Structure 1
Amino acid sequence: MNSALTAFDLARIQFAFTVSFHIVFPALSIGLASFIAVLEWRWLKTGKAYYKDLCLFWSKIFAVAFGMGVVSGVVMSYQFGTNWSGFSSFAGPVTGPLLMYEVMTAFFLEAGFLGIMLFGWQRVSPRAHFGATLMVAIGTLISTFWILASNSWMQTPQGFEVVNGRVVPLDWFKIVFNPSFPYRLAHMALAAFIVAGLVVSAVGAWHLLRGRRDPAVKKMFSMALWLLLILTPIQAFVGDQHGLNTREYQPAKIAAIEGLWETEKGGTALNLFGIPDMQAETTRYAVSVPHLGSLILTHSWDGEIRGLKEFPPQDRPNSTVVFWSFRIMAGLGVLMILMSVTAWALRRGDRLFEAKWFQRLAIAMGPTGFITLLAGWVTTEAGRQPWVVYGVMRTSQAVSPLTTQQVGISLMAFVLVYFLVFGTGIYYMLKLMRSGPALPGQTPHGVPEHSPDGTARRPLSAADQLIDVA
């Protein structure tokens, strides 16, 4: 059998690569924007200087994440025209306006107030500055709304008809508020806050291990852990409801996630472990718990779940991929809950800031938010295959008529440029995190209003540290 990659395969790999780089930056900036707004509100409410120090510190990291998210997002939008022109031609009447609404509402709102948030500390009143920060935070959430509306419509499309080979919108309310949208929006928004919470707690733990015990470090560590204690169980509940919705509207995806091939009557077992084999139509080395699949996926003892064999082979998602991506997401989610509960127990014993073993755990858990986020998106996107618009348009119909050489060259260029540009950006963010907020009595690195020659500063200029250590 010829195993050479086709232009279609390379186009999918390229989009997966670019979207994986992109999603981590908006997720962090969405969570940090709201965190910074809460910090500034607390500063206005209490007058305690360390809240402002934390605002200035995290604003620098937010600026870098926001800038890289915008750049990587622009690249993704171009790919719809270059590699996926079939999709753009077919579904553009729906996805085009939804993405336009995101630009007209969220991006313009963020762009309008971002400069004030980053550079307006000495130019506007504290309350006006807080208003700008709040608008940026709201803008990131509005952006999440429209992007998830577009993606959710591709998962559970409704409110349209197909005329002459193109989608024609009939009911925009049904298009936006499609069946999976509320669950996916809540799931993604909570994921962004959890990603930011894990990063903030890891940075706080890093500085606690280095001996800092000043109020700024303690406060950001404590606030992040309170956030995780509240949100991680809620995320588990939302994920459960999302699973019930997916079972109703995308049953093949659920069967692939569970590695379930046969429809089991009288109760479905849950495969805790196994290696799904798409060719042999079985899950090898399966370790199963009877009836647990029914309890989780139908909330009943004998609920029935359709097996993959009920779907034509050409309509089945790749169970080998989504089986493990889902378990990575769910397993790390359980660890996050356990970490949050452990922090609560340490807090009650007044040992939160002195338990070095827990601080090391918090540092190790810092990147897990991004890993879980990527695993979740792999599950939902690979589980939708072979459809780009579920049940309406196949992914193979969406690809542009390109040669393998054309897509291969652009993919190599993306890999080189992305690792250089975004690798440098990630390194710089880590360097900023390592520097920490200003020490008590030390003047924090404020954000100048203009560069020395009097020209306006760009958003990335808010991070005013040199990238190289002197």
Structure 2
Amino acid sequence: MDASQLLAQAADAVAADPAGLMPARQQMALSLGWHIILACFGVSFPAIIFVMHLRGIRRKDPVALDLAKRWSKVSAVLFAIGAVSGTVLSFEMGLLWPGLMGTYGDVLGLPFAFEGLAFFLEAIFIGIYLYGWGRMPPKVHLLMLLPMAITGVFGTYCVLAVNAWMNHPVGFNIVDGQIVDVEPWAVMFNSQAFMQFAHMWVGAYMVAGFSIAAVYAAGMLRGRRDRHHRLGFVVPFAFATIAALAQPFVGHFLGEGLEERQPSKLAAFELAETTDEGASPLRIGGVLIEGEVKGAIEIPYLGSIIALGSLDEPVPGLDQIPDEDQPPVNLTHWAFQTMIGIGLLLMAAVALFWFLRWRRRDLLEHRWFLRFASTAGVLAVIALESGWIATEVGRQPWIVYGVMRTNEAAADHSAGLWGVYGASVVLYGAMTVGAIVVLRSMARRWRAGAADLPSPYGPQSRLRDRVEDPATEEAAK
């Protein structure tokens, strides 16, 4: 087939797609890619603050309490911005994908309703905790973090249940083109929901833990070696450590059975153009060009061992998948390997840090490690985004795997959708700049010695600077 025929086929494919498909894809990539970072903090930050706050109460540690108080204000800023992007997303589902929501709205209604309820409950307890400093008994105030953590986790599970359903649809039948026999609870607890949630949940602790630790690593690089920075680094880094060590195993268990559920995605992950005779190699790097894999480093047998747990069974290749059902192979493959590569790098880094700490060697005294630690948050975000690209792009051309194609879910027109996309770029850009300005301003005033920051609204405490421990509480009374 010559170049002119390939161009003609591409032009026909573009012409067959609805006008709303491209702006919908661009809009969702922007919105989800931006919102998911904030969602990580909503899921994991309350637990990290809880541990720091508990340490402050039990050990009567004013540094730990001060960190917990500061982090609570940071979490409030991130939650407020995330609330905006999450609200935008809720409208986008119906606006950009009318075919999906119009057809399967009854199927997906329950998890989306629960997610909205969890969001409002989380907002309530964030407000109580934020304004509870100096106004509530210390232990009661500490317990306000638990509903925050639970509702954040539950809301995330609901969203992940919907995404797991899109990868493995259950809970309905199709009769004469109509959706019948809807079982909403089957969607909530479909067989892939728990493992996909676990993968995201652990990833959220990696993003939040490494990002928070990176802030204090950067401070130590600038010479701030006080206990405030060391404790601010170690606690979130400990959370990130557990997550980084667990994530490869969680991801492996999630991928089990992928050759049966989504063989096209597995073939793209492994860059398997053809089905090998015998065990498949692990292909590191490389691209698929005109049906031929080029530039890959191949390690014999390892592809089948990792993907299938077999020494002789081959990974099903793309030659078994019709051309019209194949995902964008190179993007899926590179996104998957980027996620794996960064994950293994972070796992090795945390293992080295704690091993040397056990051997009484403190890497926080070495600038090369602090430089790496200050970039770990960015690396964790890149791994998270790469994982979602691999998951979503690897499912294409299906929006609901095997049931509805993505082009069937998009609107037939693009009127106003490009304008919405442009407005979203401006909105997210403004929120990004605003978040950076606000957080940097808060950090600057804290470094200048501000014991507390004024709130734009809400009651002012008469005991604003009181340390939350039982002895101080009793003295205040």
Alignment of 1:242-321 (within 5 A): 242-277=254-289, 280-321=290-331
Question: Structure 1: which amino acid aligns with 2:77?
Answer: V
Give the structure-1-normalised TM-score. Answer: 0.89
Residues in 1 aligned to 2:24 and 2:397: alpha-carbon distance in whole angstroms: 14
Is 2:174 the partner of 1:174? Answer: no
Give the structure-2-normalised TM-score. Answer: 0.88
Residues in 1 aligned to 2:361 and 2:298: alpha-carbon distance in whole angstroms: 41
Residues in 2 aligned to 1:430 and 1:167: alpha-carbon distance in whole angstroms: 51
- Aligned counterpart, 1:123: 135
Q: Any idea what SS the aligned residue of 2:429 has? A: helix
Match among 399, 406, 427 for residue 416 of structure 2: 406
Is 2:119 the partner of 1:107? Answer: yes
- Aligned counterpart, 1:191: 203
Match among 126, 137, 153 for residue 149 of structure 2: 137
Equivalent pair of 1:262/1:309 in contact (CA under 8 Å): yes
Q: Any idea what SS the aligned residue of 2:451 has? A: coil
Equivalent pair of 2:20/2:96 in contact (CA under 8 Å): no
Equivalent pair of 1:37/1:137 in contact (CA under 8 Å): no
- Aligned counterpart, 1:459: none
Unaligned runs of 5+ in 2: 1-6, 462-477
Task: State the aligned residue count.
Answer: 447
Deviations 1:198-227 (A, max 9, x none): 112111211222222332211121223322
- Aligned counterpart, 2:465: none
Question: Structure 1: which amino acid aligns with 2:93?
Answer: F
Equivalent pair of 2:114/2:158 in contact (CA under 8 Å): yes
Alpha carbons of structure 1 residues 7 and 448: separation in structure 2 relative to 1, 3 Å? closer
Is 2:29 the partner of 1:16? Answer: yes
Equivalent pair of 2:131/2:458 in contact (CA under 8 Å): no
Is 2:113 the partner of 1:93? Answer: no
Residues in 2 aligned to 1:18 and 1:244: alpha-carbon distance in whole angstroms: 29
Equivalent pair of 1:207/1:436 in contact (CA under 8 Å): no
Residues in 2 aligned to 1:450 and 1:286: alpha-carbon distance in whole angstroms: 58
Is 2:345 the partner of 1:330? Answer: no
Residues in 1 aligned to 2:458 and 2:402: alpha-carbon distance in whole angstroms: 54
Equivalent pair of 2:241/2:350 in contact (CA under 8 Å): yes
Is 2:238 the partner of 1:226? Answer: yes
Residues in 1 aligned to 2:365 and 2:293: alpha-carbon distance in whole angstroms: 46
Equivalent pair of 1:180/1:246 in contact (CA under 8 Å): no
Equivalent pair of 2:259/2:316 in contact (CA under 8 Å): no
Equivalent pair of 2:278/2:312 in contact (CA under 8 Å): yes
- Aligned counterpart, 1:355: 366
Residues in 1 aligned to 2:455 and 2:22: alpha-carbon distance in whole angstroms: 48
Residues in 1 aligned to 2:310 and 2:248: alpha-carbon distance in whole angstroms: 18
Aligned-pair Cα RMSD in Å: 2.3
Identity between Structure 1 and Structure 2 (%): 34
Unaligned runs of 5+ in 1: 455-470
Alpha carbons of structure 1 residues 398 and 344: separation in structure 2 relative to 1, 3 Å? same
Q: Any idea what SS the aligned residue of 1:162 has? A: strand
The CA deviation at 1:446 is 5.2
- Aligned counterpart, 2:83: 70
Is 2:378 the partner of 1:371? Answer: no
Question: Structure 1: which amino acid aligns with 2:91?
Answer: Y
Deviations 1:352-371 (A, max 9, x none): 33111111110122211111
Residues in 2 aligned to 1:40 and 1:155: alpha-carbon distance in whole angstroms: 39
Residues in 2 aligned to 1:324 and 1:430: alpha-carbon distance in whole angstroms: 34
Match among 424, 427, 452 for residue 434 of structure 2: 424
